[in-house]
């Protein structure tokens, strides 16, 4: 049966609850923590270090840390614009990518510093297919692009074997979303030759055997194509970590495989705030509240709302409050904050209702909680070693760990 691991995608050292969740997970028997140099711009790795300070040396040594490199965002992007990293491809204005050996070393030693470690147990190349995606965008020949990408993977495998030899890395692998694509998909990352590349890299460095041990990819109730890659990995002695167990995609739509309760305080906070805004000065905000209430059931999944919140709602609120006297502003912001907290709960509730309707075929007649259905599916897969779950509160740690028993 698979084990649970702690995923730190949205974990930060600035949130005490996240650090307590890590401590709770370690106390409860979680032995693997998955992170990356770009998660919260290094905040996830700093949070891990803070959590581990609460344990003695033996306990700390029993925890395996898996980190990754590849993304150039945040402070890395600022550094890249001042002095460019090698072999960089651009994904978007605020996201670049590189798997060059020089960038790997730069990220490795920054991660070691943030983690307060002298060695990373397993270091993963993070989505190397970004080079392939860039080639497709530029309409380059796909076969030539694949050959070049494999050359790049070999080069960084050599660099990783050197770090294994130096003692700063225990083993290495690849985390790739493209492992989970169909083999006919242009974004599919062929994996059959990776062990051969690792063998050649270890021979080049002079190591007795390669240290390529791990793959990570999305597998969940709706996205099962990656099970083929997982089976190949197990047949070749590799370890399989699966991510996104509860955030699943079907026909380009995202679903959160979890049930949420209806907010009991929502209408109280809505009506209270609308009463405050029922005047000429705050009419734009009053209208926004009406629109939000009417459309709370129209978000595809909770991630859509979160994006909409930061891109549309918050800017609109800021504009609406520009002429409010400072003496009244703090009170208004408290009303708004309470409303938005309850509104998100209502959106989550509406999304979970529509998810059950949309996934009637996959869920059948089961009335079990969505989380349990999704996790049970993964626990039964013998090719999966670890299920990565982002457990951002101590209570959620216990909720997830209880699903295994």
Task: State pLDDT tens for residues 12-61.
Answer: 999 999 999 999 999 999 999 999 999 999 999 999 999 999 999 999 99
DSSP state of 175: E
The whole-number pLDDT of residue 1 equals: 55
Task: List the Cα angle 107/218/164 in 5-degree steps.
Answer: 35
* SS3 assignment, position 65: strand
**How far is it, in rounded angstroms, from Cα 329 to Cα 334?**
9
User: What does each C-alpha distance from 337 to 269, 327, 334 come to in angstroms?
Assistant: 10, 17, 5
With beta carbons less than 8 A apart as the criterion, state whether 122 and 35 touch: no
User: What does each C-alpha distance from 221 to 215, 356, 357 come to in angstroms?
Assistant: 19, 13, 15
Which residues does the chain have with pLDDT short of 50?
none
**How far is it, in rounded angstroms, from Cα 210 to Cα 212?**
6
With beta carbons less than 8 A apart as the criterion, state whether 294 and 285 touch: no
With beta carbons less than 8 A apart as the criterion, state whether 102 and 86 touch: yes
The whole-number pLDDT of residue 405 equals: 65
With beta carbons less than 8 A apart as the criterion, state whether 304 and 253 touch: no
What pLDDT, in 10s, does the model give residues 144-156? 989 999 999 999 9
With beta carbons less than 8 A apart as the criterion, state whether 7 and 34 touch: yes
Tokens representing 152? 């790049």
Q: Hunting for tokens 């002095």 — which residue is that?
A: 83
Question: By 3-state DSSP, what share of the chain in percent is helix, strand and coil, each rounded to 5?
Answer: 55, 15, 30
List beta partners, residue 169. Answer: 120
With beta carbons less than 8 A apart as the criterion, state whether 70 and 80 touch: no
Range list of H helices, 176-325: 194-205, 226-235, 266-277, 283-294, 302-308, 314-320
């Amino acid at each position: 049966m698979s084990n649970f691991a702690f995923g730190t995608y949205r974990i930060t050292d600035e949130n005490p609850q996240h650090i307590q969740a890590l401590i709770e997970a370690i106390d409860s028997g979680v032995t693997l923590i998955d992170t990356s140099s770009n998660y919260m711009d290094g905040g996830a790795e700093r949070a891990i270090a803070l959590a581990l300070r609460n344990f003695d040396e033996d306990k700390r040594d029993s925890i395996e840390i898996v980190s990754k490199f590849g993304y150039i965002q945040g402070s890395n992007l600022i550094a890249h614009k001042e002095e460019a990293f090698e072999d960089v491809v651009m994904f978007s204005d605020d996201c670049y990518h590189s798997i060059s050996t020089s960038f790997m070393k730069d990220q490795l030693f920054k991660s070691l510093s943030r983690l307060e470690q002298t060695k990373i147990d397993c270091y993963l190349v993070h989505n190397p297919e970004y080079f392939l995606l860039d080639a497709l965008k530029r309409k380059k020949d796909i076969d030539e692009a694949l050959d070049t990408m494999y050359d790049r993977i070999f080069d960084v495998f050599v660099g990783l074997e050197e770090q294994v030899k130096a003692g700063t890395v225990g083993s290495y692998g690849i985390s790739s979303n493209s492992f989970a694509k169909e083999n006919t998909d242009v974004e599919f990352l062929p994996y059959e030759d990776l062990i051969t590349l690792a063998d050649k890299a270890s021979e080049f460095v002079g190591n007795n055997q390669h240290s390529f041990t791990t793959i990570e990819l999305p597998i969940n109730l709706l996205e099962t194509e990656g099970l083929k890659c997982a089976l190949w990995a197990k047949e070749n002695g590799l370890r399989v970590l699966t991510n996104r167990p509860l955030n699943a995609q079907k026909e380009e739509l995202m679903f959160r495989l979890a049930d949420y309760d209806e907010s009991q305080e929502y209408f109280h906070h809505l009506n209270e705030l609308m009463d405050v805004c029922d005047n000429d000065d705050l009419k734009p905000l009053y209208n926004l509240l009406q629109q939000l209430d009417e459309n709370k059931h129209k978000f595809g999944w909770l991630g859509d709302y979160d994006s909409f919140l930061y891109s549309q709602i918050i800017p609109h609120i800021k504009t609406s409050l520009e002429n409010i006297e400072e003496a009244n502003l703090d009170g208004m912001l408290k009303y708004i904050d309470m409303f938005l907290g309850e509104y998100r709960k209502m959106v989550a509730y509406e999304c979970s209702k529509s998810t059950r309707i949309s996934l009637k075929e996959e869920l059948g007649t089961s009335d079990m909680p969505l989380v349990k259905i999704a996790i049970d599916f993964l626990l039964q897969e013998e090719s999966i070693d670890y299920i990565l779950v982002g457990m951002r509160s101590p209570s959620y740690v216990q909720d997830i760990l209880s699903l295994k028993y």
